[in-house]
Amino acid sequence: MLRIDIHQIKAFLAVADALQFKGAAERLHITQPALSRIVKALELEVGAQLLQRTTRVVELTGAGRVFAEQSRLALAHIERAAVLARRAQAGQIGNLRIAYMDFAINGALPEIIEAFSKNFPQIAIDLVHIPSTLQKDAIHDSSVDVGFMIGPFHADNIETILFAKEKLVVLLPTEHRLAKRKTIRLRELAKERFVPGGPDSWEAFRQHFFAISHTAGFLPNIDQRRYIRACSGQYRH
């Protein structure tokens, strides 16, 4: 394994550019003997003579020209690697895994993603559809980085931000006694039969709905036949 450090390469390139040890040493702020020892040690490590020295002239050998060319490429890659590492640490490049549910993708999420992509074009975004209740587990085990879900989520080392509020609406048959009303109090629906979404995808919404129904003073009456048809995908409104 080669033991070559960046300081050796930069010292050699300084001599290769100046084609003299004196000017290169002044540029590097070291003595000529010290520079000569560095280059000699580099040649020994590489296993080839890189410079042809005389009392008045310094020239690159064929091996030296090849090594100088490749060394400049290597330094450029190292500098780029350092820049990319700093940008990655600052969150400017990388990969962002985003979980979403139906309400988010049909709401503000597409605009948020578009704006984010314009500001951070070098960050790749992976979108995955996950129901709200399962998103919490995915965030806990780091399967996703960000989750757009329904309802509150409190956990250590997890930051939550309210990004949208949605009004609750009720779908009623056109002939229903309340169908022409612009607003309806929840308790006015206490004796109605409800068809909620299935537990797989709508569990977070169901929990919220049952909670506010309890606050309104009733327990929702679920229409089991229509509920089963809705869960199986056979029911359409």
In tens, the pLDDT along 54-90 reads 877 899 999 999 999 999 999 999 998 998 888 888 8
- Are domains 6-89 and 94-147 of this chain identical in fold? no
CATH superfamily of the domain spanning 94-147: Periplasmic binding protein-like II (3.40.190.10)
Domain ranges of the chain: 6-89, 94-147, 167-237
What span, in angstroms and rounded, lies between the C-alpha atoms of 23 and 60?
16
Pairwise CA distance, residues 104 & 148, whole Å: 6
pLDDT band at 200 (very low <50, low <70, confident <90, very high): low
Residue, of 101 and 12, whose pLDDT is higher: 12
What does residue 15 show for φ and ψ, rounded to 5 degrees?
-70, -40
Token pair recorded at residue 211? 């909670």
Residue 218: both structure tokens together: 């009733």
Q: Is the pLDDT of residue 237 over 80?
A: no
Say what the pTM is.
0.54
> Torsion-angle region of residue 218: left (phi > 0), alpha (psi -120 to 50) or beta?
beta
Distance CA(106)–CA(99), nearest Å, equals 14
Which tens digit of pLDDT belongs to each residue from 157-176? 888 888 887 778 888 888 99
Fold entry, domain 6-89: Arc Repressor Mutant, subunit A (1.10.10)
How does strand 94-100 pair with strand 146-147?
A: parallel
Q: Say what the pLDDT of residue 234 is.
A: 44
Mean pLDDT on 182-189: 91
pLDDT score of 201 more than 70: no
Q: Are strands 123-129 and 193-194 parallel, antiparallel or unpaired?
A: unpaired
* Residue whose C-alpha is closest to residue 18's, from 58, 74, 63: 58
